[in-house]
Amino acid sequence: MTALQDRFEALFSISTEISSTLELEEVLQRVVAHACRLMEARVASLLLIDKEAGTLRPAATYGASVDYLALPDREIDDSLTGEVVKTGLPLYIPDVREETRFRVADLARREGLCTLLAVPLRTKTDVIGVLNVYTGEPRCFEESDVRLLTLLATQSAIAIENATLHRDEMEARERLRQSEKLAALGKLSAGLAHELRNPLNTMSMLIYAMARELPADGPLGADLQIVQGELRRMSLLIEQFLEFARPRPPHFQRERLEEIMEETLLLLGPEARSRGIMIYKEWDKNLPRVWVDGTQIKQVFLNLLLNALQAMPNGGKLTVRLRESGGSLLTAITDEGEGIGPEARANLFQPFFTTKQGGTGLGLSISQRIIEGHNGRLRLFSRPGTGTTAIVRLPL
């Protein structure tokens, strides 16, 4: 048997092994490991296309150091590997260290990378990414090498596509299960919250009357104040929860957003002052009116502004901007707070997700739903340590 035959046989058993799992991560790992061994290369890497971003995202590597792993996504329109996607053809670079179009020649030198062979990951209908192998010494890849790697890439692309479909389906199923569970739970707890309202009100009233009878500086008076504070917190939680669990449909009217904003800021003035926060307002006088439910939008502004204030315990600048843009009215609320970390980022809009002591974790999920009810969009941009901007886009 020739060496070539050996390699094609290896390829056959590799293909079988790669597609024997539906775990996407596992498939990707197997592809790069096998590509590296099959081609007797030093490093193999696999990039997948992120269609929305127009980039190639490193999805798996074998034999590379963390420096290589830390490389950012590549622009499809402006990178060597991007060319493989665009042309759909293999790319052979005898020495990446000498190649000016290879952006990370330094890194290649440090990693000891020399020759690159890159082939498209092609499914029946699409190119979904690129498979790269790098050798440590100059290598002259032959036609049969290219054909072998292309075959491996094709088998891999099918396995990746299957695993991706499988993952999407599992996620969809899980989401459905979750939302059914949540719906049932929501009904139950809304009922419970509603029932808690009345006794809570009675208690609040009685405690209020008691507190008035007692000297505020006595020990009992101080305790009662704490009790009152906790009761307020419970009421807020219940009100917010009911708002969340039993939303009312919006009642649309033509409103001036800047007036709603002014009213909301008025409510928050004392809170801002006590934290040493300066509020800056930036908007034009003649903004068009928007078709909104004023009460609901006020609640959204209140939630976003409160979050901004709470993010700045040691004071800072809070900037509110309103402007018209492309058929929408944009509201941007920028704080100089601690920003949002990656863990919080993933859960921001989850009901009950909070990083605050005494937070309800409902502000953003209620706000998001209200804004969606207005066919608008709510997004948060944040840089940890620098601050956060919440942007509300409402159609005109």
Q: List interacting residues with ligand ADP (CB under 6 A).
A: 303, 307-308, 311, 335, 337-340, 344, 348, 353-356, 359-365, 388
User: Which residues between 344 and 363 bind Mg ion (CB under 5 A)?
Assistant: 363
The token pair that represents 208 in the structure block: 């209020």
Three-state SS sequence of 342-392: HHHHHHCCCCCCCCCCCCCCCHHHHHHHHHHHCCCEEEEEEECCCEEEEEE
How far apart (Å, rounded) are the C-alpha atoms in residues 29 and 16? 15
Q: Among residues 250 and 359, whose Cβ is nearest to ligand ADP?
A: 359
SS3 (DSSP) at 28: helix
Q: Among residues 182 and 236, whose Cβ is nearest to Mg ion?
A: 236
From the list ligand ADP, Mg ion, none, partner contacted by residue 296 (C-beta under 5 to 8 A by kind): none
Contact 335, 354 (CB under 8 A): no
The structure tokens 């804004």 sit at 371
Q: What are phi and psi of 326, to 5 degrees?
A: 45, 55
Q: Among residues 274 and 355, whose Cβ is nearest to ligand ADP?
A: 355
CB of 280 to ligand ADP, least distance (A): 16
With CB under 5 A, what is the number of residues at the site for Mg ion?
2
Q: Among residues 151 and 302, whose Cβ is nearest to Mg ion?
A: 302
From the list ligand ADP, Mg ion, none, partner contacted by residue 84 (C-beta under 5 to 8 A by kind): none
> What does the CA dihedral 230, 236, 239, 245 come to, rounded to 10 degrees?
-100
CB of 385 to ligand ADP, least distance (A): 11
Q: Among residues 246 and 356, whose Cβ is nearest to ligand ADP?
A: 356
User: Which residues between 245 and 264 bind Mg ion (CB under 5 A)?
Assistant: none
Q: Among residues 111 and 338, whose Cβ is nearest to ligand ADP?
A: 338
Contact 367, 376 (CB under 8 A): no
CB of 364 to Mg ion, least distance (A): 7
Piece of the chain touching Mg ion by CB under 5 A; list 30-38, 81-89, 180-188, 307-315: 307-315
Contact 76, 49 (CB under 8 A): yes
The token pair that represents 43 in the structure block: 């490093």
CB of 296 to ligand ADP, least distance (A): 16
CB of 130 to ligand ADP, least distance (A): 37
One-letter amino acid of 16: T
Q: Are strands 316-325 and 277-283 parallel, antiparallel or unpaired?
A: parallel
CB of 362 to ligand ADP, least distance (A): 6
How far apart (Å, rounded) are the C-alpha atoms in residues 32 and 62? 6
Contact 370, 297 (CB under 8 A): yes
Residues near Mg ion (CB under 5 A): 307, 363
